[in-house]
Amino acid sequence: MSSYATRADEPNPDDEPIPENYTLDSIKPPKYWAEPEDVEEDPMAYKRKPVSSAHTIDLTASPPQVSTLDSAAISPDGEIIHGRYGNLGSNPNVPLEYISLLHPAACAAAALRSMESGTVLVYGAGEPTGLAACQLATSPVVAVVAGHQSGQDEFVDEVKSMVDEPGVVVPEELVLIRSEFKELVQAVENGEDVDDMDPDAFVDEFKNNLLEYSAFYPDSQMAVDPESYRFKGKEKDRKNFQENMTAYLEQFPQGAPAIDQVILNESFTKEQYAIFKSKFHKQTASLITGDPEAKNEFNPGKIVKSMVESPEIISDYLKNQTNQTDASNTDFVPYEFSTLKDQVENGLETLKGGSIAGAIIAVTPDLKVAAEAVAKGKTLREKAEALQFLTEAEKQAFAAANGIASLAKQAGKSVVVIGGTLPGFESVEPSAADVKEALSAMEINEDGSARLNYFVQVYRASDYPVYADFAIHRATETLAGPRQIVVTK
C-alpha cells in the first residue's frame, strides 16, 4: 500500500547526469533578480528628516526644559559634540540617544571607581545614574528601585535581569523592613552555603509518617477520612447512602497494613529507603508521562511491609550514585537525591559577593525634597517635625536611603551620591577616564548587546517640533514612568 508521498513511477531528476562543462553560471538568472526594478515613490509619503542632535529633559530648571548640557550633536565632520564633555570624536557603535545620557553613566563610573571589590548597595536603581551603576559594577549589587518606580513589576523584573548573581533587585518597600533587608544583604555577602544533610533524619521522618498513616488509615478500610462514613443526611436517604458507599470508596486507595515499629526500625535501613524512593520516582514518572505500564495503585504501606519482611538488594547505581558510562567523572550530578551519598554540592558553586564595598545613592525627586527639609532642622525635634509634614512617598524614600547608608557606615565604607546633591553626603564628579569608561560601555557589539543599556523613549522633534514641548509635559507628569525621555532634533 503506497502513501500519498510515494511517486515510484516517475524518475528522480537528481539522478540525471550533469552535462560536460556545466557550471553554476551556465544559466543566467533573469535581469530583475540581479537588479531590482526601480520602485516609484509615493508622492504623499512622509520623509523623515535626519537627526542631528539628542537632548534629555532638564527637570532641575525652572521651568523644565530641553537640556543643552546633557545633549549630543553631530558636527558637519561627523564628530559627536557633547554639551558637557565637548568633542568625543566619531563613534558609530554608540546610539546618539545614549550619548545624551553620558553624564549619568560617567557619574556611576566615578562612584564605582572609588570603591573596592565587594557587595555594592545602590538606591534608586531605576534612575539613569542608578541603572548605570548596577550594570557597570564588576561586583555583586544589592539594588533598590525607588518608590515611584517600584510599582512597575515588569520594569523591576527587567532591572533584575541586568544584575548578575548573587546580586538582587528589590523594591523600596523591602528596605523599610530593616531586619529582612539586612539578612538579604548578608546572604549576598556570604552566599547561601548548603548545609550537610543528616540521612538518618530523612529515614526516621519517613518511618514516623508511615506509622501515623497506617494508624489513621488501617488496612481494613479505604484511605478516606472516617468522617466520610458518617451519615449526616435525612433518614429517608440513609438507604441510598449505604448503597452508594461502595462506589464512592472505589476512588480511594486501600489503607496501609499495620507495621511493627520495632521491626520497621531494624529492617528498614537507609539502603531500603533508597530502593523505595527509586520505586516512587519511577511510578511518578510513569504517571506524568502517561505510561500504560504504570501501576493502578501504588500503596507505600504494602510496599514497605514487603521490603521489611524480605529486604531487597540495592543496585550499584543507587548505592554509589556514579556515572554509569564514565565512572571517573567526578562532576557527575545525579537526578535524584540520595541518603547514601551526599552530593548536594557536587557541580554547584556558591556565589559570594564579599563584604560591603560601599553605598551609592541616586537622587530621586522625593528623596531630594525629604533630605533638604530634614537638613533645615537644627535640633532633633525640628527634624522630626519636618518629617511629619512630608508625604508618605518622601518619608519612605528618606527612610530607605538612610537605611542603605547606615549599613555602609556600619561596615566602615563610604556613601556616594550621584545624579545630584544631598545634604550631609558626598557627591562625585566624573573624570575623563570615567567618561571614557561610560562611553565604552555604551558601545553595541556585533550581536546587538551592550554592557550598558537604558530604557529610552524618543520624541522626534526633528520631524514635529511640537514634540519637544510634549516630551517636557510627559517628563513632568506625576509618576512619569520608568524610562528616560530623549528629544531628537
Q: What are the pLDDT digits (tens) for 265-305?
A: 888 998 899 889 888 888 888 888 888 777 777 888 888 98
Counting every residue written for the chain, the total comes to 489
Q: What are the pLDDT digits (tens) for 28-63?
A: 777 777 777 778 888 888 888 888 999 999 988 889
Question: What are the grid coordinates assigned to 68, written together?
Answer: 543643552
Q: Please, what is the average pLDDT of the chain?
A: 84
- Angle at which helices 380-388 and 365-375 pack, to 10 degrees? 140
CA dist 368 and 394 (Å) reads 9
- For 251-268, give one letter per residue: b (16+ CB within 10 A) or e: eebbbbeebeeeebeeeb
Q: What are the pLDDT digits (tens) for 440-487?
A: 999 998 888 889 999 999 999 998 999 999 999 999 988 777 889 999
Q: Is the dihedral of CA 454, 457, 460, 461 positive or negative?
A: negative
Nearest Cα residue to 408 out of 157, 166, 111, 129: 111
Nearest Cα residue to 72 out of 89, 59, 53, 86: 53
| Residue 148: Cβ within 10 Å count | 23
CA dist 405 and 417 (Å) reads 10
CA dist 249 and 251 (Å) reads 5
Q: Are 120 and 133 in contact (CB under 8 A)?
A: yes
Can you say how many angstroms the Cα of residue 352 is from the centroid of all Cα atoms in its chain?
17
Q: Are strands 141-145 and 168-171 parallel, antiparallel or unpaired?
A: parallel
Domains observed in the chain: 53-101+454-488 (no CATH), 104-193+356-434 (3.40.50), 199-232+246-320 (no CATH)
Torsion of CA 146, 147, 153, 155, to 10 degrees: -40
Question: What are the grid coordinates assigned to 388, written together?
Answer: 511629619
Q: What are the pLDDT digits (tens) for 295-343?
A: 777 888 888 988 999 999 888 777 877 666 665 665 555 666 777 876 6
